[in-house]
A and B are shown apart, each in its own frame.
Chain A
């Protein structure tokens, strides 16, 4: 099965509201990276975490390696937050290989 399980697969938010995206890992991961893929298809780095919590503006991410999950919280959602959000986990001990989740399609509407 998939090593990185991402949920929900799709999410619709009104402007100004918030929600959380989650990734569960079936094996121990060394780190997690979150990306936003925008309408042009570009992958934008959001966070890289080896542990703990990071915050950047309206986004906050947590990585709990012991319990094998990571979350991405979005607050005060704006129209430009629409896109697909991917988590990717660092698996191998001696490589930089990332394993991606299938993504969450986020639509923010007025």
Chain B
């Protein structure tokens, strides 16, 4: 089973502050993703990466940056946190594109509250 670790598990931030969410995976997966989940809804893709030092925009990238300094690590950065970014954030990884390699394995999530 893939191991994806997120930190912190929860965070309270002030409006306008900078927030960094971290994700670390230990399964040699090339692909990593950041999703957000709002109460009562499914997950929406923010950013993803398929190789170190490169990131791609997902479906809702506005207000977020991502950084992939190594294969194992993928960060999500909120430069100026806003109330609307209060949500639970999930990191995920997958091995590749073909067949079952695209199975996503999720971390436990980070609950972010912006006040």
Which chain A residues have a beta carbon within 8 Å of chain B's beta carbons? Answer: 4, 6, 31, 33, 35, 40-43, 45, 48, 50, 86, 88, 90, 94-103
A42 and B48 contact, CB distance less than 8 A: no
Residues of B within 8 A of A102 (CB): 40-42
Q: Does B44 contact A (CB under 8 A)?
A: yes
Least CB distance, B37 to chain A, in whole angstroms? 8
Least CB distance, B58 to chain A, in whole angstroms? 7
Question: Chain B, 38-74, contact with A by CB distance < 8 Å: what is the 0/1 string?
Answer: 0011111100101000001011000000000000000
Q: Does B75 contact A (CB under 8 A)?
A: no
Q: Does B88 contact A (CB under 8 A)?
A: yes
A96-B31 contact in complex given A33-B103, A41-B88, A103-B41, C-beta closer than 8 Å: yes
A43 and B90 contact, CB distance less than 8 A: yes
By beta carbon, the residue of chain B nearest A86 is B42
Number of A-B contacts (CB under 8 A): 65
| Contacts A42-B108, A96-B48, A96-B94 supplied; 9 other A-B pairs, CB < 8 Å | A33-B103, A41-B109, A88-B104, A95-B56, A96-B31, A96-B102, A98-B43, A100-B44, A102-B42
Least CB distance, A2 to chain B, in whole angstroms? 9
Which among A31, A96, A98 has the greatest number of chain B C-beta atoms within 10 A? Answer: A96
Least CB distance, A50 to chain B, in whole angstroms? 6
Which chain B residues have a beta carbon within 8 Å of chain A's beta carbons? Answer: 31, 33, 35, 40-45, 48, 50, 56, 58-59, 88, 90, 94, 96-97, 99-100, 102-106, 108-109
User: Per a CB cutoff under 8 Å, which of A31, A42, A86 touches B43?
Assistant: A86
A31 and B102 contact, CB distance less than 8 A: yes
Query: What are 24 A-B contacts with C-beta separation under 8 Å?
Result: A6-B42, A33-B104, A40-B108, A41-B108, A41-B109, A42-B106, A43-B90, A45-B105, A48-B103, A86-B43, A88-B43, A94-B97, A96-B33, A96-B50, A96-B94, A96-B104, A97-B48, A97-B58, A98-B43, A98-B45, A99-B45, A99-B59, A100-B43, A103-B41
By beta carbon, the residue of chain A nearest B105 is A45
A95 and B48 contact, CB distance less than 8 A: yes
